[in-house]
Structure 1
Amino acid sequence: MPKIEDVAKKAGVSVTTVSRVLNNRGYISEKTRENVYRVMKELDYQPNEMARALFRRKSNMIGLIIPDVSHPFFSELTYYLEYYADKQGYKLLLCNSDRDIVKESKYIDMLKKNKVDAIITGSSVLDVEHYLNLNLPIVSLDREVADNIPVVSSDNEMGGRLATQLLLDKKCRQPAFIYRGIGGPHHVALLANGRAQGYDEVVTQAGYDPIHLQLDASVKDEQEIEQEIIRFLHEYPHVDAIFASSDVIAAEVVQASRQAGRRIPEDIRIIGYDDVKIASLLSPRLSSVRQPIEEMSERIIDLVVKQINGEDVPNMNLFPVQLVERETT
């Protein structure tokens, strides 16, 4: 495999000149530039990206830490983040933390060693100090990390209010809220908790008692999750509506409701949150609160690139949500 020294020798220039051509630094005449490119093509020379990164002190890589890449929301988010990062000339380095503190900490060390230019975190388990000490541009998804770290989020509280009000407008008299609790000391910093706050506010104002079911995030067995929801439905037979904190949980509620003998929407109405693709593929099709995932992703990349370039960015970036009604309500 040809090296940079081979290119320099055949082109009749120094290694420094070839490096300047590769990294577009310093004055290089057009004749010299074209000569170097011609030789690179003849030798089929492939520049070492890490070497270029060290020379430029820039890797053009962005670290992305998310809790679960298999989750439809994070899957769609990652797709759009990669798309908009690529348009800006950056590549993503994906880190799937599994909500594991040790694993996430190791990923942060790996990102530091790989000299990423910035980090996007959808994490919710590590102490904020792990991020504050990185001295890197950071953008957080749905979690307030620090005053100087920008956050991108949908209007979770409004989403909770819209979903719950829809259920009440459908003459439901006891909506319940089902979510998957991740636990840990930093869960309170998650802006997604606003979904529960919106639910509680509307239910209480209507004169009903809020009812919550927290599913265990560590449970992966689908049958076990289904049985827990069925037990809940039997324990609260008067519950006639469910607001689920994600479309995935709403889909689990749909399956459990069938097993419990509840007709949808005649006996129980169900609405989710996110409006990912599975919402319109379920039968019956799922009503949901739509997060503008693509627009949020574009903003995240924009915030990252502006920070890399030394520009000021707004701290809070809140996106409006939209109620999408389908067959489950």
Structure 2
Amino acid sequence: MVTIKDVGKHAGVSVATVSRYLNGKGYISDEAKKVIEKAIKELDYKPNQLARSLSTKKTNIIGLLVPDITNPFFPELARAVEDTAYTNGYTVVLCNSGEQKDREIHYIESLQQKYAAGFIVTTNQLEADYYRKISLPIVALDRRLDPAIPTVTTNNIDGATIATEYLIARGCKHILCVRGPVGLDVAEDRFTGFMETMKNYPNISSDIITSQFDFDEAEKKVFDYLKTHEFVDGIFASSDVLAIGAMKAAHSLDVQIPGELQLVGFDGISMGKLLTPELTTVAQDIYKLGTAATELLIQKIEGHEIENNLTELPATLVIRSSTK
């Protein structure tokens, strides 16, 4: 195995000079940089990341915290984060908190002890104070943790407005909103968009049920609701997972989509195209969200100044066959 000593000998410089070059600390002449780079290439030297992390107290590891890996939205998001990190020389460690505070704290503390370079957080189980005290760079993705923490998200209020307006434009008179968890900013924004839109249509009736972002819970709650509210002709679900649960409930009750009941989801996960009927949805640019958050985190890790702490991407209505 080629060592740092071998590189120094091949380049004709001291081990200390090679170390300064590898760690990016201290002065190195342009000539020394050239001979070290040449020696590294010719010897095919690979730095010992463990030894380097012990020296610099830093690795190229990025922690990605997600609340529920079974929700199809998060694997798609993770793919974008991993692709972007890899391109920039970083490695992603995926941590599934299961929406449990203790697990989230465990992962954060463990990665800090292993000298992670930074975190991308898509959970919000902990108080903002906890995140503010973390000394490593953090970016919030699809969640707002604190105004001081850079955030990448979609304009969820506008997205919900688009979905609600579309259901009304397609003739729906009695709309059910299947909203997400109370207190979760993403769910709250989508609920706000729906409610603000409904104020403009006093002749359209609406009702609300609340569910975790979970297939089974959404299916059960929508099934129970539709059994006693047969007049409902439109559903806005504040995630595609909720929409899929609602679709399954309607199917169990032999309610025809879109003939008797039109349905719009939110997120734009790939699974929506595999359903019958295919799901009309307010699509987030999931890949772009993951890419933007990772690039922002790398900027912070590498010491660049962040000019804008909020990156908000637009949502787009994707019309498929769950609406008329």
Calculate the TM-score normalised by the size of structure 1.
Answer: 0.86
Please name the residue that 2:197 is paired with: 202
Q: In 2 relative to 1, CA 170–59 (structure 1 residues): closer, same or farther, beyond 3 Å?
A: same
How far residue 158 of structure 1 moved from its aligned partner, in angstroms, is: 0.8
> Are positions 1:212 and 2:208 aligned together?
yes
Q: Hey, what's the Cα distance between the residues in 2 that align with 1:33 and 1:160?
A: 53
Please name the residue that 1:290 is paired with: 283
Q: 1:214-253 counterparts in 2 under 5 A?
A: 214-216=210-212, 222=216, 225-253=218-246
SS in 2 for 1:295: helix
How far residue 263 of structure 1 moved from its aligned partner, in angstroms, is: 0.4
- Conserved in 1, the CA contact under 8 Å of 2:222 and 2:249? yes
Q: Hey, what's the Cα distance between the residues in 2 that align with 1:71 and 1:206?
A: 33
Please name the residue that 1:118 is paired with: 118
- Conserved in 1, the CA contact under 8 Å of 2:153 and 2:311? yes
Please name the residue that 1:259 is paired with: 252
* AA matched with 1:233: L
Q: Hey, what's the Cα distance between the residues in 1 that align with 2:120 and 2:297?
A: 8
SS in 2 for 1:211: strand
Residues 106-143 of structure 1, C-alpha deviations (whole Å, 9 max, x = no match): 01101211212221111121111221111222111233
Q: 1:131-280 counterparts in 2 under 5 A?
A: 131-181=131-181, 187-188=183-184, 190-207=185-202, 208-216=204-212, 222=216, 225-280=218-273
Q: Hey, what's the Cα distance between the residues in 1 that align with 2:206 and 2:113?
A: 48
Q: Hey, what's the Cα distance between the residues in 1 that align with 2:36 and 2:84?
A: 34
Q: In 2 relative to 1, CA 243–33 (structure 1 residues): closer, same or farther, beyond 3 Å?
A: closer
Report how many aligned residue pairs link the two structures: 316
Please name the residue that 1:63 is paired with: 63
How far residue 14 of structure 1 moved from its aligned partner, in angstroms, is: 5.3
Calculate the TM-score normalised by the size of structure 2.
Answer: 0.88
Q: Hey, what's the Cα distance between the residues in 1 that align with 2:144 and 2:41?
A: 47
- Conserved in 2, the CA contact under 8 Å of 1:119 and 1:136? yes
Q: Hey, what's the Cα distance between the residues in 2 that align with 1:319 and 1:32?
A: 43
How far residue 166 of structure 1 moved from its aligned partner, in angstroms, is: 0.8
SS in 2 for 1:196: helix
SS in 2 for 1:99: coil
Q: Hey, what's the Cα distance between the residues in 1 that align with 2:263 and 2:98?
A: 27
- Conserved in 1, the CA contact under 8 Å of 2:141 and 2:152? yes
Residues 212-268 of structure 1, C-alpha deviations (whole Å, 9 max, x = no match): 111246x77x4x653332111112222111111111211111111011110011110
Q: Hey, what's the Cα distance between the residues in 2 that align with 1:155 and 1:211?
A: 23
Please name the residue that 1:321 is paired with: 315
Q: Hey, what's the Cα distance between the residues in 1 that align with 2:91 and 2:85?
A: 6
Pick which of 45-54 and 106-115 moved more: 45-54
Q: 1:11-22 counterparts in 2 under 5 A?
A: 15-20=15-20, 22=22
Q: In 2 relative to 1, CA 37–23 (structure 1 residues): closer, same or farther, beyond 3 Å?
A: farther
Q: Hey, what's the Cα distance between the residues in 1 that align with 2:247 and 2:277?
A: 9
Residues 264-291 of structure 1, C-alpha deviations (whole Å, 9 max, x = no match): 1111000100111111111111100011
- Conserved in 2, the CA contact under 8 Å of 1:95 and 1:107? yes
Q: Among the aligned pairs, what percent are the same residue? A: 31
* AA matched with 2:194: Y
| Unpaired stretches in structure 2, ≥5 consecutive residues | none
Q: Hey, what's the Cα distance between the residues in 2 that align with 1:327 and 1:267?
A: 13
| Unpaired stretches in structure 1, ≥5 consecutive residues | none
- Conserved in 1, the CA contact under 8 Å of 2:164 and 2:236? yes
Q: Hey, what's the Cα distance between the residues in 1 that align with 2:296 and 2:187?
A: 20
Q: Hey, what's the Cα distance between the residues in 2 that align with 1:215 and 1:32?
A: 58
Q: Hey, what's the Cα distance between the residues in 2 that align with 1:299 and 1:95?
A: 19
Residues 60-97 of structure 1, C-alpha deviations (whole Å, 9 max, x = no match): 22211111123111111110111112222222121111
**Aligned-residue RMSD, C-alpha:** 2.5
* AA matched with 1:212: I
Please name the residue that 2:294 is paired with: 301
Q: Hey, what's the Cα distance between the residues in 2 that align with 1:136 and 1:198?
A: 34
- Conserved in 2, the CA contact under 8 Å of 1:306 and 1:313? no
Please name the residue that 1:310 is paired with: 304
SS in 1 for 2:206: coil
